[in-house]
């Protein structure tokens, strides 16, 4: 099992700031989700070589969790703090929820509108920095306005580990989650998973985690990206430590 942390050198099949991430009939997703990094899943499981999924950073939320204010638009695949996609045959990320799940430009308060503009602007600046320096740097709202270089990913592969994301909000009905009791380190195998997530009995595996603010002005402390190969489902949750 591959398990890397603080990934600062891109592996084969990794493309930062990719284009053409969403299906043509869901082009509106680009108003809500910032593409960070394409990852060839063959780096984690050789039999999946050529299946390329994209790490995404939601522009929302300004406060709370994504989906908190659109409960009437939740379905079996989306909920507060959870979003899911189908990886299409041509490696596009097809959203399995409703367009109304996202608030988008309907955010009414000034702080929310400023947040949206800042997320988009910082993502564009980080892309330009990468094109010039081949390094990732974010323009965080918490910094001095200067770019600060970061790892492309905080974690690649490895076991699915417990975090606040597992309990912040109930997982959508299409999925099941189970969490092991806390164990002493000496009783744990090196590859033991704290968390099991399934769809129709098929297990997800950990793809990657990264802080949203590694790439953008703000974001979750960890964007958690999981994959289930049978249904080609890419599932995201967000840790707010």
Measure Cα distances from 54 to 35, 41, 175, 192 in Å.
7, 10, 20, 26
pLDDT digit string (tens) for the chain, length 241 residues = 689 999 999 999 999 999 999 999 999 999 999 999 999 999 999 999 999 999 999 998 888 899 998 999 999 999 999 999 999 999 999 999 999 999 876 666 777 788 889 999 999 999 999 999 999 999 987 777 789 999 999 999 999 988 999 999 999 999 999 998 654 444 445 556 789 999 999 999 999 999 999 999 999 999 999 999 999 999 999 999 8
Give the Cα separation of 166 and 239 in Å (integer).
8
Give the Cα separation of 8 and 17 in Å (integer).
15
Over residues 119-177, the pLDDT tens digits come to 999 999 999 999 999 999 999 877 777 899 999 999 999 999 889 999 999 999 999 99
At residue 99's C-alpha, the angle toward residues 116 and 13, to 5°, is 75
Q: Can you give the pLDDT at residue 120?
A: 94
Residues in contact with 208: Cβ distance below 8 Å, sequence separation at least 6, in sequence order: 37, 39, 55, 153, 154, 155, 156, 157, 225
Burial of 13 (0-12, 13-18, 19+ CB in 10 A): middle
Task: Flag whether the pTM goes above 0.85.
Answer: yes
Q: Can you give the pLDDT at residue 48?
A: 97
């Amino acid at each position: 099992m591959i398990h890397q942390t603080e990934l600062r050198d891109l592996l084969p099949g990794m493309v930062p700031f990719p284009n053409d991430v969403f299906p043509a009939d869901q082009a509106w997703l680009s108003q809500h989700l910032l593409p960070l990094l394409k990852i060839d899943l063959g780096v984690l499981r050789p039999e999946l070589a050529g299946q390329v999924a994209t790490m995404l950073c939601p522009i929302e939320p300004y406060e709370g969790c994504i989906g908190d204010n659109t409960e009437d638009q939740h379905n079996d695949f989306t909920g507060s703090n959870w979003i899911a996609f189908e990886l299409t045959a041509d490696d596009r990320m097809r959203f399995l929820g409703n367009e109304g799940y996202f608030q988008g430009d309907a955010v009414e308060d000034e702080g929310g509108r400023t947040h949206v503009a800042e997320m988009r602007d910082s993502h564009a600046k980080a892309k330009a920095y990468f094109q010039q320096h081949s390094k990732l740097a974010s323009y965080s709202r918490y910094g001095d306005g200067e770019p600060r270089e970061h790892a492309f990913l905080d974690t690649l592969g490895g076991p699915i580990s417990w975090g606040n994301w597992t309990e912040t909000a109930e997982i959508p009905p299409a999925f099941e989650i189970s969490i092991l009791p806390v164990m002493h380190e000496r009783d744990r195998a090196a590859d033991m998973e704290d968390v099991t997530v399934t769809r129709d009995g098929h297990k997800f595996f950990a793809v990657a985690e990264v802080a949203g603010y590694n790439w953008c002005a703000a974001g979750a402390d960890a964007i958690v990206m999981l994959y289930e190969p049978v249904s080609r489902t890419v599932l995201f949750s967000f840790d707010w430590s």
